[in-house]
Structure 1
Amino acid sequence: MSSAYILTLSCPDRPGIVHAVSGFLYERGGNIEEAAQYNDHGTGLFFMRVRFAYGQLAHEELRSQLRPFAEPLKMSWRLHAAAQPMRAVIMVSKEGHCLNDLLFRWKSGLLPLDIRAIVSNHRDFYQLAAGYNVPFHHIPVTAAGKAQAEARQYEIIESEQAELVVLARYMQILSDGMCHRLAGRAINIHHSFLPSFKGAKPYYQAHDRGVKLIGATAHYVTADLDEGPIIEQDVARVDHSKTVEDFTAIGRDTESLVLARAVKWHSEHRVLLNGHRTVIFR
C-alpha cells in the first residue's frame, strides 16, 4: 500500500535542487504526482512543493532520511501526510458569516480540516456549533481580564493540537505574545478598505464616500496589526445604486470567499512564507 505525502521546502537557490529532490524521492520508491517551484531572484531563495506517492518507508523513517539530505542545502522543509486533515480552531465574535461558510464547506468535504473547537468572546453561535457537533468555548474578554482570556484560549488551542487558528471575524486585537505563539498558523480576514476606513461600520463609511470596489484580505496574523503576509484578496464592483445594506452584504460574501480560499490553500500546504510575503502554489 502506498501513501501520499506533501513535501514543502525553501532554501538558497542553486542549480540542481529539483534534480536532487526528485532523485531523493526516486531512490526511495517515490512517485511524484504534483510538483511546483519558484525562484525568488530578489531574495535568492528557492521554494518547492511536491506531492508524491510512497510505499517503502514509514513517515518517521522518511523524515529521518530527509534531515541529512536537507542539511547541506540549508533547506527548511516540512513533510505532511496528504490524507491527514489539518486540526483547526476557529475564533469568532458576533458576525458569523465567515464561520457559517467555513463550517458548511468543511462538512461538505470541501476543506481538508478537522475543526476541533470554536472559541468566542460572545455566546451567539453556540447553537450553530452544536449543529455541527463542534465544541464551543465562550471566553469573555475584558480590558482587565485580557491576559487571562488569552491564556485560556491558548490552552484550548494547544490541547486540541491545532495546526491552524482561523480568526473568522474575531473582533479582538491579539497581544504581541499571542501573535508570536501563533506565528505562521493563524489566519485573519478583514475588509480591504484599510487604511482609508478604520473603526466601526467601515461599509457605511465606504458607502458615504461612494467607493466603486469592495474588497477583502486574508493574511497571517503578526504583531503588526493587519499587516501580516497576505494569502488572498478579492474585490467586488459596486455603484451608486447600491444601498449601504447592499455594500455590507457584498462585503460579507467577499470576506467569506477570500477566507475560504486562504484556509483551503493553507490546509493543503500550498502557502510558503517568504519574509513578509507568501509563495502560493495553486
Structure 2
Amino acid sequence: MSTQHSFILKLSCPDRPGIVHAVSGFLFERGANILDSAQFGDSRTGEFFMRVHFQQVGGDPGLDSLSEAFSVLAGEFEMSWEIHDAELKPKVVIMVSKIGHCLNDLLFRYRTGQLPIEIPAIISNHKDFYQLAASYDIPFHHFPLTESTGAAKAAQEARVLEVIDQHSADLVVLARYMQILSPNLCEHLSGRAINIHHSFLPSFKGAKPYYQAFDRGVKLIGATAHYVTTDLDEGPIIEQEVERVDHSMTPDQLTAIGRDVECVTLARAVKWHVEHRVVLNGTKTVVFR
C-alpha cells in the first residue's frame, strides 16, 4: 500500500474514555487507513498522549482541510495537537562551535538518507567547519563572538535568529555549540531546539563533565539530548545513552568514548523529533519509538 498521501497526528489532552475511539472514527469517516498508532496515559498527571500515522485512501483532502475538520474534535477533548505531512522533510539548522563530531555524524546521516531532513544552514561562532559544510553544499554562516558583553551577544544572536527565521527552520540542533543561549532566544525556540550535553544528566552539568566524571570515579559515562530551555541543562530529556568505563581510563579516553555516545544520542533525538514522535509532558517527554 502506497504511503504517498500520509500524515502524522500527535496530541495530548486530559485523559478520559473514548479518545481513541473518537480519533479512529474521525479518520475512518474521512477514508483514512491507520498505518501505526501509539498511545500513553500518564496516571500521575491525568494526561493522555497519542501519535497516529495514517494514509488517505479515499481521496486526499489535504493538510489544511484535515486540520480544520479535526479542530472541532480537538476542542471537544481539550487537545493540544498537530497534524503533519509525513512526506515533508523538516528544515533543520545546525549550530556548532569548534568540536565537530556531532556535526559530522548528522551530516553523514543526512546525506545517506538516515535522517529525513533538509539542512538549509549551518551556523557557527568559529570558522573551523566551513569546508565541511561546503562539501555538503550547505551554506555556512560564521557569526563570531569577539566580545563578552551583553550587547555583543545580543547582536550576534540577532544574526543567528535572522538565519533561522529566514529558512523557517522547524528545528535547531546545538551540535556542541558551546555558548549559552539568551533567555529571549531560548523562548523563541521553545520546543524546537535540541541540545546534546556530554553527560548523563542530571549529573555533571556545566563545563568539562568528563573531567567531573573522572574525578568521581564513575563506571558509566553518558550523553543526554534534551530540549533547550532558559534553565541551563534542565530541559525535557528526549534520549540518553551510556557506555561502561573503568578506573584505568584517563579523562581524555573518557572524552573519546563519550563523543561516540554523543553522536548516537543526538541522532536518535533528532530523528524522533522530525518524525513527530516526541510529545512534551511538563518537564518530561513522551517518546513514541
| 5+ long unaligned stretches in structure 1 | none
| Residue type at the aligned position of 1:65 | A
The answer for the alignment partner of 2:164 in structure 1 is 157
Kindly tell me: are residues 43 and 195 of structure 1, through their superposed partners in 2, closer, same or farther at Cα, counting changes over 3 Å? Answer: closer
Q: 2:85 aligns with which of 81, 85, 109?
A: 81
Q: Does 1:119 align with 2:126?
A: no
Q: Does 1:143 align with 2:151?
A: no
The answer for the alignment partner of 1:59 in structure 2 is 63
Q: 1:274 aligns with which of 274, 278, 281?
A: 281
Q: Does 1:18 align with 2:1?
A: no
Q: 1:61 aligns to what SS in structure 2? A: helix
The answer for the alignment partner of 2:98 in structure 1 is 94
Q: C-alpha separation between the residues in 2 aligned to 1:275 and 1:198?
A: 21
Q: C-alpha separation between the residues in 2 aligned to 1:261 and 1:63?
A: 28
Deviation at 1:235, TM superposition (A): 0.7
Cα deviations by residue, 1:129-156 (Å, 9 ceiling, x for unpaired): 0011110000012323100111110110
Task: Say which is worse superposed, 259-268 or 136-145, in terms of deviation.
Answer: 136-145
Q: Does 1:201 align with 2:203?
A: no
The answer for the alignment partner of 2:36 in structure 1 is 34
Q: C-alpha separation between the residues in 1 aligned to 2:182 and 2:154?
A: 8
Q: 1:78 aligns to what SS in structure 2? A: strand
Deviation at 1:205, TM superposition (A): 3.7
Note the aligned Cα RMSD (angstroms). 1.5
Q: 2:271 aligns with which of 245, 248, 264?
A: 264
Kindly tell me: are residues 64 and 246 of structure 1, through their superposed partners in 2, closer, same or farther at Cα, counting changes over 3 Å? Answer: same
How many residues get paired? Answer: 282
The answer for the alignment partner of 1:234 in structure 2 is 241
Q: TM-score of the superposition, structure 2-length normalised?
A: 0.94
The answer for the alignment partner of 2:72 in structure 1 is 68
What are the equivalent positions in structure 2 for 1:237-256 lying under 5 Å apart? 237-256=244-263
What are the equivalent positions in structure 2 for 1:177-192 lying under 5 Å apart? 177-192=184-199
Q: C-alpha separation between the residues in 1 aligned to 2:31 and 2:204?
A: 55
Deviation at 1:225, TM superposition (A): 0.6
Deviation at 1:64, TM superposition (A): 1.1
Task: Say which is worse superposed, 70-79 or 191-200, in terms of deviation.
Answer: 191-200
Q: C-alpha separation between the residues in 2 aligned to 1:97 and 1:262?
A: 16
| Residue type at the aligned position of 1:151 | A
Q: TM-score of the superposition, structure 1-length normalised?
A: 0.96
| Residue type at the aligned position of 1:44 | G
Q: C-alpha separation between the residues in 2 aligned to 1:193 and 1:68?
A: 42
Q: C-alpha separation between the residues in 2 aligned to 1:203 and 1:45?
A: 37
CA contact (8 A) 2:199 2:210 kept: no
Deviation at 1:198, TM superposition (A): 5.3
Deviation at 1:245, TM superposition (A): 2.6
Cα deviations by residue, 1:17-40 (Å, 9 ceiling, x for unpaired): 000000000000000000000001
Deviation at 1:196, TM superposition (A): 5.5
Kindly tell me: are residues 199 and 65 of structure 1, through their superposed partners in 2, closer, same or farther at Cα, counting changes over 3 Å? Answer: closer
Deviation at 1:207, TM superposition (A): 2.7
Task: Say which is worse superposed, 177-186 or 135-144, in terms of deviation.
Answer: 135-144
Kindly tell me: are residues 36 and 98 of structure 1, through their superposed partners in 2, closer, same or farther at Cα, counting changes over 3 Å? Answer: same
| Residue type at the aligned position of 2:43 | H
CA contact (8 A) 1:193 1:202 kept: no
CA contact (8 A) 1:265 1:271 kept: yes
